[in-house]
Amino acid sequence: MSERKLHAGDSLFPDMPNVAPKFPTDYNSILNRINSINAVQYAKTRNFINGAVTYLSPYIARDVVSLSFIKEKILQRYSFHQSEKLIQELAWREYFQRIWQYYGDKIFTDVKQKQPDYIHQQIPQALINAQTGIKGIDEGIACLYSNGYMHNHIRMYTAMLTCNVAKSYWQLPSQWMYYYLLDGDIASNTLSWQWVAASFSSKKYYANQENINKYTGTNQLNTYLDTDYDSLRMMDVPTVLQTTTTISLQTNLPTVSAIELDNTLPTFIYNSYNIDPLWHTNEKGNRVLLLEPSHFSKFPISDKVLQFIIQLAKDNIPGIQIFVGEFDALRQQAKAAIHYKEHPSNQHYQGIEESRDWMFPNVKGNFNSFFAYWKKCEKYL
């Protein structure tokens, strides 16, 4: 699938507030972003596209900074009461990771129940073209294509429109969104789509035009979503969403030179979910960013996302080398100890497995809902 020729800051709709965040890759800029968090304003405005959100999700997803690190920084400046909503929202990502740990590859199918009422397993062409006729959603898709970012509320709207209004099965559209997201978190993206589509929740999520106008700053009237919720749940698929298509997503991995390892030293394996600049930072060792073709065949990402990952590694891990190939091929070259961080995507790694820096390391397993999980977490705050 070719990427749309949009540029950072482009707006499909000049009358809309343009939210086009930038995502620097140097560690100091990331720390500055953490230090500028306003937890009080976040709690009040996070659902608005121009609200005081943190813009930290790409760094959290890539483990440049951990949820635990951010939580501690927040609690140094704000009381728990002031920061509870922000910490709770951060905990959603950890919750989704725990669900992935528990279920494994089952999260790539309907987790709790079959998605109700879907009629096809393709994706609306209007969604791909950012021409759904709903400005708040189309602008969000344009931002996704140009900046690799989509506000969480617009992600919910987009999934709602796709799964519950256009009646697409969640799987292919979720892969389409993941492909473009700088903060592409497999568990968070997959399970969020299922939460909206009611295969990981008890009911479908809906938002009408009034709700979308409120949070995206639009003032559209007389759209197919400009109706009450009972009518929205019962409506036929709108004409603009009836044309569907399939898509082919692929990752264009770079061609790189052979790496050189000092086999008297350990090898530290980084990947797209571990670019932690503080990991073993004071130890000598070989540092390798492993890009496995098998992983990116299963979970394709765009050129923009791939370059973001590579640049994060180059900017923050001194001496890192890039290895494009499978883990087994790298293991044959590394004669000393291999270290890596635990993650559901790399269970085939062999060597010394180390834990991630969990925000709530003692809260694990399966939970019927996020709030059941959160009640356990609160005991540790």
Q: Please report, in tens digits, the pLDDT of each residue of the chain (381 residues total).
A: 333 333 333 344 444 344 568 999 999 999 999 999 999 999 999 999 999 999 999 999 999 999 999 999 999 999 999 999 999 999 999 999 999 999 999 999 999 999 999 999 999 999 999 999 999 999 999 999 999 999 999 999 999 999 999 999 999 999 999 999 999 999 999 999 999 999 999 999 999 999 999 999 999 999 999 999 999 999 999 999 999 999 999 999 999 999 999 999 999 999 999 999 999 999 999 999 999 999 999 999 999 999 999 999 999 999 999 999 999 999 999 989 999 999 999 999 999 999 999 999 999 999 989 999 999 999 998
CA distance 376 to 20: 36
pLDDT at 19: 52
Nearest partner of 20 among 52, 65, 56, 50, judged by Cα: 50
The tokens for 355 are 């834990």
Q: Give, as one character, the DSSP assignment of residue 78.
A: S
**CATH hierarchy code of domain 27-105:** 1.25.40.80
CATH topology of domain 123-245: DNA Cyclobutane Dipyrimidine Photolyase, subunit A; domain 3 (1.10.579)
Q: Please give the distance of CA 220 from its chain centroid, rounded to a whole number.
A: 29
Helix (H) or strand (E) holding 187: helix 186-197
Rounded (10°) angle between helices 171-180 and 135-147: 50
Q: Give, as one character, the DSSP assignment of residue 104.
A: G
The tokens for 64 are 């440049």
pLDDT at 381: 87
| Predicted structure pTM score | 0.94
Close Cβ partners of 169 (under 8 Å, ≥ 6 residues apart): 115, 118, 120, 121, 163
- Give whole-number Cα distances, 162 to 171, 187, 238, 246, 261, in Å: 11, 19, 11, 14, 48
pLDDT at 17: 43
331: how many CB neighbours lie within 10 A of its CB? 15
Q: Which long-range contacts (CB under 8 A, 24 or more apart) does 350-356 make?
A: 351/269, 356/63, 356/66
228 burial (CB, 10 Å; 0-12 / 13-18 / 19+) is exposed
CA distance 166 to 147: 26
